[in-house]
Amino acid sequence: MSKPSSLFEILDEYSAALIKAMTEAIRGGAFPYKQNNIAYLLSELPKPERVQAALAAVTEQDKLALTWLHSRGGQVGYGRLRDLLATHDMLAEPRTTGRTARIEGKQRRLPRFNPSAKGKTFFENLIVRLTLKGLLFSRGAREAGKTKVDWLHGLIIFLPDYVMAELEKRPLMSLPAFSQPSSAGGFQRDVGRMARYINRVGTVQLTTQGALYKNVMRELADLLSFEVNLSSGKKEFDNGRLYFIRRLLPKLDLVDQRYGNMPLTAVPNAYFWQLGLPERIEQCFRAWRDDGAWNELHQLHHYKRGVDRSYDAPKGLRDSRRTVLDHVKRLGSGWVRIYELIEEVREQDYGFLLEKRKYSRGGWGYYSYSSGGSHPYTSSNNPYGAGFEGISSEKDGWDKVEADFINHLLAGPMQWMGLVQVGYSNEPKADFLGNNHIDAYRLTPFGEWLVGLAKEPETAVSPTQLIVQPNFEIVVMGNSNGEMLLTMDQFADSVNESEHVSTFVISRESVYRGQQGGWPTKRIITFLEEQAGQPIPQNVQRTLAEWGALQERIVIRRNVRLLETVDEAKAAELVTLLGDGKTR
């Protein structure tokens, strides 16, 4: 069904009652006859100043509907537009009257229209509200026996040419009002901090559920650049970014974990830290995209049960992830509204996540299983064994699960890794799981590179500068590749780490730890002087030498038969204590 070719043809398809209401809404009063009202609307509706004023007064729901219609060429079936608004949680349940009518073959209650209602409204009311303003129209009567479109909208929703032209000049939705910063370098620093923490402690035990203990979470929270929710009852699984990094570490060979819920054992992977920033970012991206380090399903709003977090994501889920990334690539650079991505995936890859079956007449339809429900969102009806709650049908499930999967992919892993910047129409609340509903996203230069839109970004590498201060603090400045920080952990304690500055302190205990790990004081002094490019302060050098001498005075050697003492009297005393009775 094509859009009418003229404004007269558009208006003539409406009932006299609705044409009268439209004239009253714009003029403040109506004429007695339909032809007079149409004549008035023909002259008034296309006026640029009127269109601009009407567009300036629309709600956020209206903006989304109009902007999406404009992006789709100005015309779409009403069901698609309704699904879009429902996916974005912008629709209320309709209020109905006592009157019923046969609509599209079924007897239904008619909505109770109130175009001046404030706040969230139902779909039919939204269409009438925009129609009365002359911003949006429909055609093809849905109510049986009617030849004209009345208060109930028609089958096809479309924008008139004068609104299309105005939206070309002045888009309603441009940059998001709020955006969340995203840093690939910052993510790499957090990966390094967690890996170095495990390297310092040696082994990290997990709970019986396969999660970090609360005391470990507290210690990590002091090191990482993002907030960790340590509230009562909150676990590692309630902190998506923390859990995501921890799941990546075995895939990057930075820790060893035989099974998903076994302890984490340190692996000082010097090779990884010798890589440049782009190579490390790419390894993290591939570990997520290809190696199954993350399972998005258990992060979704309506997920209930069935996913074992300790297992890698199965191949089918990784394929789903790649499908979404292909569409992200197709939509290109710059700010992209999330609904554009969701609708493109819905149109072109409807069954990308959970397999759907078809009605015999064509079109996507319902599952017909003997048990477990009539849609793929119960654990027995999908290959992942994942169950979701609050879902009434396949269509309802797509809006709640597939759309949420796409949203989490961007608001969670891609944003955490610094590959997309996400935007919001309103100031967002704290998001610990990466599943706040976003309004828009924009690929960062690293994101454009990894989805295949651009070449590898050039990264400025400033030389690392190390300064040893007389108070035994060591300051590391610049874009360290992580290897130096890993080395510093051997004999010094990290006290503060910001974006470009890391501070360590040397103590007698830390030096002793270094000696135990193969870092005698002479080696420590040599390393610090080589990295600083000059001698370290004399008091630090002298104290390190003294600590080394003290800790080397007593050396215990096992399985030897020679004992050397200061004098014979001391030797005799020690032999007596040992119970031998003879001097050797």
Q: How far is residue 464's CA from residue 484's CA, in Å, rounded to a whole number?
A: 9
Return the CA Rg of the chain.
33
Of all helices (H) and strands (E), which one includes residue 204? strand 203-204
Q: How far is residue 129's CA from residue 132's CA, in Å, rounded to a whole number?
A: 5
Residue with tokens 């005698």: 520
Confidence of residue 365 (pLDDT cuts 50, 70, 90): very low
pLDDT tens-digit readout, 37-69:
999 999 999 999 999 999 999 988 899 899 889
Can you give the pLDDT at residue 371? 41
Q: How far is residue 484's CA from residue 197's CA, in Å, rounded to a whole number?
A: 14
* Residue 175 pLDDT exceeds 80: no
Average pLDDT of the residues in 241-262? 92
Average pLDDT of the residues in 209-235? 93
pLDDT tens-digit readout, 532-570:
889 999 999 999 988 888 766 555 555 666 666 667 777
* Residue 370 pLDDT exceeds 60: no
Residue with the bigger pLDDT between 356 and 321: it is 321
Residue with the bigger pLDDT between 355 and 316: it is 316
Q: How far is residue 427's CA from residue 179's CA, in Å, rounded to a whole number?
A: 9
Average pLDDT of the residues in 386-415? 94
pLDDT tens-digit readout, 274-290:
888 899 999 999 999 99
* Residue 115 pLDDT exceeds 50: yes
Of 111-120, 356-365, 573-582, the poorest mean pLDDT is in 356-365
CA dihedral 564, 565, 570, 576 (to 10 degrees): -20
Q: From the DSSP assignment, how many helices (H) and strands (E) are in the chain?
A: 24, 18
Can you give the pLDDT at residue 279? 93
Angle 277-289/240-251 helices, nearest 10 degrees?
A: 100
* Residue 368 pLDDT exceeds 70: no
Average pLDDT of the residues in 492-497? 83
- Residue whose C-alpha is closest to residue 339's, from 420, 448, 438, 453: 438
* Residue 478 pLDDT exceeds 60: yes
* pLDDT > 70 fraction of the chain, expressed in percent and rounded: 91
- Residue whose C-alpha is closest to residue 253's, from 237, 236, 270: 270
Q: How far is residue 575's CA from residue 461's CA, in Å, rounded to a whole number?
A: 62
Token pair listed for 441: 């996203």
Q: How far is residue 44's CA from residue 548's CA, in Å, rounded to a whole number?
A: 91
Can you give the pLDDT at residue 363? 36
Can you give the pLDDT at residue 460? 65
Can you give the pLDDT at residue 172? 84
Confidence of residue 462 (pLDDT cuts 50, 70, 90): low
Can you give the pLDDT at residue 557? 58
Q: How far is residue 292's CA from residue 210's CA, in Å, rounded to a whole number?
A: 17
* pLDDT > 90 fraction of the chain, expressed in percent and rounded: 55
pLDDT tens-digit readout, 203-213:
999 999 999 99
Can you give the pLDDT at residue 565? 67
Can you give the pLDDT at residue 216? 96
Confidence of residue 573 (pLDDT cuts 50, 70, 90): confident
* Residue 152 pLDDT exceeds 80: yes
Can you give the pLDDT at residue 577? 66
Can you give the pLDDT at residue 361? 29
CA 511 to chain centre: 41
Can you give the pLDDT at residue 358? 38
Can you give the pLDDT at residue 552? 64
Average pLDDT of the residues in 368-390? 79
* Residue 367 pLDDT exceeds 90: no
Can you give the pLDDT at residue 584? 45
pLDDT tens-digit readout, 69-81:
998 889 999 988 8
